C-alpha cells in the first residue's frame, strides 16, 4: 500500500522521464548526409552562406524544429531538402544518433541518412554558399586535433552569496568542452559539426566490428 494519495501515486507511476527544464531549451534537428560521390561513400558538408548566422562555417544540414514538424527526424529531413534542393523521396533517414544538450540551452537531435545516388543537389544560395564531400574511408582514418575550452561560472551582480555556504568562496564546478578540428584540403571542420562527426565515426567503427 502506497503512502501517497491515489492521484499522486497514479501520476508518478505513469510519468515518463524527460530532460529537466526542456521547455526552456531551443530544439534543433541535424541531418548527417551520406551519398556516393565518384564511386565512394562520402559525407556531404555545407559551407554557410553570408546570409545566415556564422557565415563561412562548415555544417551539416539542419535547423530549428518547428511546431509543424511531426518529429525531430521529420524536421531534419525537411531542413535537408530545403537546403540541398532535393525531394523527400530522394532521402532516407537510416537511424538516430545521440542527442546533445549544450551549455547555451539548446537540444540537438542528429540523424544519419542517405541521399540517393541519382539525386542532383541544388543548394539554396540563401543558406548554403557551397557544398563538398569527404570520402568516409578518409574520415575514418583521420585523427582530429583536440583542444579544451574551460567554462567558468560567473554569477550576476547582486547574487545572494550570503544565502549559500562559503559565500563568495563557494567552490563552483567548472565545465570543459573538448573541441575537435578536422582538416580536409582547405576546409576546417570544428565546433558542433565536428562533435557530431566524431560521434558518427565512432559509431561507424563500432558497426564494422559487429558485422
Residues in the chain: 211
pLDDT in tens, 99-127: 999 888 999 999 999 999 878 899 999 99
C-alpha cell read off for 174 = 567548472
Q: Which residues contact 179 (CB under 8 A, 6 or more apart)?
A: 146, 147, 148, 149, 190, 191, 194, 195
Tell me the C-alpha distance between 134 and 57, whole Å: 16
Mention the CATH class of domain 22-209: alpha beta
> What is the pTM assigned to this prediction?
0.89
Tell me the C-alpha distance between 45 and 55, whole Å: 14
pLDDT more than 90, % of the chain: 82
Measured at the CA of 90, the angle between CA 89 and CA 91, to 5 degrees, comes to 95
Q: Where are the domains of the chain?
A: 22-209
pLDDT in tens, 65-112: 999 999 999 999 999 999 999 999 999 999 999 999 988 899 999 999
Amino acid at each position: 500500500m502506497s503512502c501517497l494519495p491515489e492521484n499522486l501515486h497514479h501520476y508518478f507511476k505513469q510519468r515518463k522521464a524527460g530532460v529537466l527544464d526542456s521547455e526552456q531549451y531551443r530544439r534543433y534537428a541535424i541531418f548527417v548526409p551520406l551519398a556516393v560521390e565518384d564511386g565512394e561513400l562520402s559525407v556531404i558538408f555545407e559551407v554557410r552562406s553570408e546570409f545566415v548566422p556564422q557565415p563561412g562555417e562548415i555544417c551539416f544540414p539542419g535547423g530549428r524544429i518547428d511546431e509543424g514538424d511531426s518529429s525531430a527526424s521529420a524536421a531534419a529531413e525537411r531542413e535537408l531538402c530545403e537546403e540541398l534542393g532535393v525531394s523527400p523521396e530522394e532521402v532516407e533517414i537510416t537511424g538516430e544518433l545521440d542527442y546533445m544538450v549544450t551549455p547555451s540551452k539548446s537540444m540537438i537531435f542528429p540523424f544519419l541518412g542517405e541521399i540517393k545516388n541519382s539525386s542532383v543537389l541544388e543548394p539554396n544560395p540563401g543558406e548554403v554558399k557551397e557544398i563538398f564531400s569527404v570520402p568516409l574511408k578518409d574520415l575514418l582514418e583521420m585523427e582530429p586535433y583536440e583542444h579544451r575550452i574551460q567554462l567558468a561560472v560567473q554569477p550576476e551582480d547582486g547574487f545572494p552569496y550570503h544565502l549559500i555556504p562559503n559565500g563568495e568562496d563557494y567552490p563552483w564546478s567548472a565545465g570543459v568542452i573538448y573541441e575537435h578540428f578536422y582538416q580536409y584540403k582547405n576546409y576546417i571542420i570544428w565546433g558542433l559539426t565536428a562533435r557530431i562527426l566524431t560521434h558518427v565515426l565512432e559509431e561507424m567503427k563500432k558497426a564494422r566490428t559487429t558485422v
